[in-house]
Amino acid sequence: MALKGIQEFKALLSDKLRNLYPKTEIMQLSKLILQDVLKVNSTQLLLIQDECFNKEQTDLLEQIADRLADSEPLQYILGHTEFYDLDLKVAKGVLIPRPETEELVHWILNDPQADKSRILDIGTGSGCIPLALKNNLNHAQVEAWDISDDALSIAKDNATRHGLEVTFKKVDVLQAISVSTPFTCIVSNPPYVRNLEKEMMEANVLQHEPHLALFVEDDDPLVFYRAIAKLSLKALTKNGSLFFEINEYLEKEMKELLESLGYTNIECRKDLQGKARMMKATLA
């Protein structure tokens, strides 16, 4: 029997997802789905009469419920997500932006010591970090690198959609040795999840998000951080800032790496979940 309205859809979603998500998360998913499909905001959704779906909406809602039941992330199903007040296109070729990455962006934007006139983002994915920074720092020159053609295509599309001027380049940071003009601020959220941590991750991440953007080998989990930190010795201006999103279990190792390369004023911050997730260092 076809869905007639909101309460039937909520019941359907609850039934399909009860073994995958807690009730509170299912309620939030249903709200986001209904707003997207019905093209309304949260306030308008409350005012809609229950029996309101046409056939096209019914079919779409049933497809979404089935895909969620198969552990596919909602952001990929809808094709977009919110990040720091920007609506960004996402697809399977890019990592879904996380709230902790928003916290990293917030730190950069509100750090009075960091010169943000010329910024480089390494491993840009959807472009969430450089686009959020550019959206709030109109006069900054912003560049972003990635090795993935799919990611660069999505990031460029996001920049175009929001009218934000960011220079995107295909660069393998493990091979990069210099830049033509130094940057005042370099930021990166590189792959940092060790293979041994896979068993702690949700199925929707393991089955659908790009492993290239997530995982590193257990025997060298800091491979990208080491490459970026070494490159930044040449790529940063004097007193330039280096910001990272980090693996919560590798805070000590990260500090030791940056200290060994001569960085100073190393600071680690916890995210809203209390996990050591962000680090800043300065090139003396």
Reduced to 3 states, what is the DSSP secondary structure of residue 129? helix
> Cα–Cα distance between 68 and 57 in angstroms, integer?
16
Q: Which two tokens stand for residue 276?
A: 């050591």
Beta strands in 38-122 (DSSP E): 80-83, 86-89, 118-122
Backbone angles phi, psi at 165, to 5 degrees: -90, 100
Q: Do 139 and 215 fall within a single domain?
A: yes
Average pLDDT over residues 62-72: 93
Q: Are 179 and 235 in contact (CB under 8 A)?
A: yes
Q: What is the CATH number of the domain that holds 244?
A: 3.40.50.150
pLDDT tens-digit series, residues 224-266? 999 999 999 999 999 999 999 998 989 999 999 999 999 999 9
pLDDT tens-digit series, residues 147-179? 999 999 999 999 999 999 999 999 999 999 889
pLDDT(81) > 70: yes
| pLDDT the model gives residue 206 | 67
pLDDT(8) > 70: yes
Is 75 part of any domain? no
pLDDT band at 48 (very low <50, low <70, confident <90, very high): confident
Is 78 part of any domain? no
pLDDT(11) > 60: yes
Residue 266 CB neighbour total at 10 angstroms: 16
pLDDT(203) > 90: no
| pLDDT the model gives residue 215 | 62
Residue 89 CB neighbour total at 10 angstroms: 17
pLDDT band at 50 (very low <50, low <70, confident <90, very high): confident
Is 204 part of any domain? yes
Residue ranges making up the domain that contains 65: 6-70
Q: Do 184 and 47 fall within a single domain?
A: no
Q: Do 62 and 10 fall within a single domain?
A: yes
Mean pLDDT of the chain: 91
Q: Do 135 and 214 fall within a single domain?
A: yes
User: What pTM value is reported for the model?
Assistant: 0.91
